[in-house]
Structure 1
Amino acid sequence: MTASCTTLLKGPLVTNPHPRYRLLTTGGTASMATAGAGQGVTPRLGAADLLAAVPELGSSAIDLQVEDFRKKPGASLTIDDMAVLATRISELEAAGEAGFVVMQGTDTIEETAFLLDLLHQGEAPVVVTGAMRHSQQSGADGPANLLAAVRTAACGDARGRGCMVVMADEIHAARYVRKCHASSPAAFASPAAGPMGTLIEGTPRFSFTTPRPRCVQLPFARQARVSLVTATLGDDGEDLAERFEHCDGLVVAAFGVGHVPESWVPALEKAARQMPVVFASRTGAGSTATTTYGFPGSERDLLQRGLIAAGPLDPFKARILLLALLRADANPEDIAAAFGQF
């Protein structure tokens, strides 16, 4: 059954008669402009500038506060930036704010949104959005995406859904969303599940929901490094141990349902005795298997050697989950259980 909001401000789960919302910006394409002819664009616009470009928000009844949280391209955001942002959102929700929009660079949205989904424990929706075309390009999509994101955050039915990504009038669950094109305005998709909702005539309508992950607690207790290595045709793995020598955890982007070259097996087995090693499918859709194949380097073989299956999580999200767990000082049993949630 499809659920929708009755109005932009009121929904079946909102009881506050005067809800407040907040836009937090971190930079990214939507905030970029050039300082002069012949120069590339850089983050120059603040939250107030972005809001001014959306007249519908200025004239609406939505009580929207703005905050410049960071001013970085998406590629320069860090795990710590997201941890501080999640903490800030928690503080604001405790103070009574009902929903949040995060506008950032699209390069890392599929990772930052998933991390926020892991870290955000509240019921207020967190909606991440951005732009594929900067403000000085024809057809800049930032204002439309911002409007859609605010409308989604202000929708009563969005409560309790954790973190979502809204781009091109589609609502994506953080655990499924992928950036599938380098430059298209329709770059974002959820190959494994499809959008969890869409905006129809400005109203968010949800088709399904996803369970909330409850496996990472802030504050982070320590630093950690997790490497991501990708299985490719003909890679003999001779230097594999060197690639994760100084790491606390490892994610393998494996072939198909979780396969690696046979030559990789000894190094991965040794690594799994020293640190958590997770294998995910490099395809970007579908799940790792557990019992289908039995050859050396198959998913069954890797599990027997102590590796952890990522299930439907793609390699990028598997790395984010493992890194967050390690930074929260989770033990091996908790790490295995956390991946089991997915």
Structure 2
Amino acid sequence: MEKKILVINTGGTIAMSIDESERVKPLEEHAVEKIGPLLERYADVTMINYINLPSPHITPEIMNQLRLFIQQELSQHGYDGVVVTHGTDTLEETAYFLDLTLPITVPIVLTGAMRSSNELGADGPVNLISAVRTAADPQSRNKGVLVVFNDEIHAARHVTKTHTSNVATFQSPQYGPIGTIAKKHVSYHHAPLDREYYPVASPTANVPLMKAVAGMDPNWFQYLIEQPVDGLVLEAFGLGNLPPTILPALQKLLDKGIPIVLVSRCYNGQVQDVYDYDGGGRQLKEMGMIFGGGLNGQKARLKLMVALAQTKNFAELQQLFDQ
């Protein structure tokens, strides 16, 4: 029986064109619609032009509205899978937000393009075809939200954009893709062991993200101390270490009850409370900072935003980040 797949277009390079001066701009009409006839051999596809935004314009609130729209469409029309076309700059964030907040088992697949619709070697059509094929494949159920690019299938939790322009930009450091798309079949070789779900009405928590650099000035944190922030994510050095000069400012945030999640600015590995010196991971753990495992900064921020809707207790937040 032919699978019913919903394609939701949200904009991005896949829906843009390049002009004679090599400026890439959004189109008035979605270029994705032109790909529609190519999808008919793989599934019964319904295409909806939801929004048309460059992905830097996407916000957590828009992600949440998209989540609600997906749930509504699945409830009303019983689709077998959903594909979302999205700009690549924030695609991994939308994918991970949906992965955390959608309580469904049908395949949800995000894809897009690195080359605009009228550019030589445009990758949008083949990525969309691969995404539809993945969403229609029964093996894709119960694997969480997926990202399909360049004939690879990645888990939303692990995938990240690694190159500014290469069509193979989406990679999963440490873990690799969970599957591939060949000419005749979709193939999985491993899958995420666990799924997380956070019921959230709206992601309203104010959570900044900062990156550790050599010689950080503690005054940079004064704004965070004075303003009503709900949490902070810090991309620390290496295994999870920070310049000692900023620790008093961070202690003031912790004393105010503001959770600080620590991740690494390295794109491989996890933060650990190993180094025992001033500013080392062991001291940071003793101060009460929450270790974010192997998540990158942008994903840890989203997870803290949705987790804060469940609890503000530091110990309970650490348990959630240990999952």
TM-score under structure 1 normalisation?
Answer: 0.88
Match of 1:300 in 2: 282
Can you list the C-alpha shifts for 1:248-303, whole angstroms capped at 9, x where unaligned? 1100000001000111111112212321100000001111113x211121111111
Do the aligned partners of 2:271 and 2:294 also contact (CA within 8 Å) in 1? Answer: yes
In structure 2, the partner of 1:53 is 35
Q: Residue 10 of structure 1 aligns with which residue?
A: none
- 1:116 CA drift (Å): 0.9
> 1:6: which partner in 2?
none
Q: Write out per-residue CA displacement over residues 162-187 of structure 1, whole angstroms, 9 at most, x where no aligned residue.
A: 10110000111111111000011111
Q: Structure 1 residues 141 and 39 mapped into 2: Cα distance closer, same or farther (>3 Å)?
A: closer
2:220 to 231, 239, 245: 239
Paired position in structure 2 for 1:133: 115
Q: Which amino acid aligns with 1:175?
A: R
Structure 2 counterpart of 1:23, one-letter code: V
Identity %: 36
**Residue aligning to 2:49:** 68
Letter in 2 for 1:259: N
User: Per-residue deviation at 1:223?
Assistant: 2.3
Q: Secondary structure at the match of 1:316?
A: helix
SS in 2 for 1:218: coil
Residue 281 of structure 1 is matched in structure 2 by 264
Q: Spell out, residue by residue over 1:154-206, the C-alpha distance to the aligned partner (whole angstroms, 9 max, x if none).
A: 01010011101100001111111110000111111111211111112242211
> What pairs up with 1:80-229 in 2 under 5 angstroms?
80-95=61-76, 96-220=78-202, 223-229=204-210
CA contact 1:269–1:307 (8 Å) conserved in 2: no
Structure 2: which 5+ residue stretches go unaligned? Answer: none
What amino acid is the match of 1:26? T
Give the Å deviation of 1:92: 2.2
Task: Give, in whole Å, the separation in 1 of the partners of 2:297 and 2:217.
Answer: 20
Q: Which amino acid aligns with 2:122?
A: A
In 2, Cα distance between the equivalents of 1:269 and 1:199? 49
1:61/1:264 CA distance change after superposition, 3 Å: closer
1:148/1:202 contact within 8 Å kept? no
| Secondary structure in structure 1 of the residue aligned to 2:46 | strand
SS at match of 1:284: coil
With 126-135 and 332-341 compared, the bigger mean Cα shift is at 332-341
1:252-331 correspondence runs (5 A): 252-274=234-256, 275-290=258-273, 292-326=274-308, 328=309, 330-331=311-312
Gaps of 5+ in 1: 1-16
Query: Equivalent residue of 2:234, what SS?
Result: strand
SS at match of 2:89: helix
The residue identity in structure 1 corresponding to 2:24 is V
What letter matches 1:213 in structure 2? Answer: R
- Aligned-partner Cα distance in 1 for 2:175–2:4: 31
1:109-164 deviation digits (Å, cap 9, x = unpaired): 12111111001110011100000000121000000100010000001010011101
Query: What residue in structure 1 maps to residue 15 of structure 2?
Result: 31
- Aligned 8 A contact 2:102 2:197 in 1: no
Separation in 1, partners of 2:158, 2:233: 18
CA distance in 1, matches of 2:240, 2:316: 22
Aligned length: 319
Q: Residue 3 of structure 1 corresponds to which residue in structure 2?
A: none
CA contact (8 A) 1:23 1:64 kept: yes
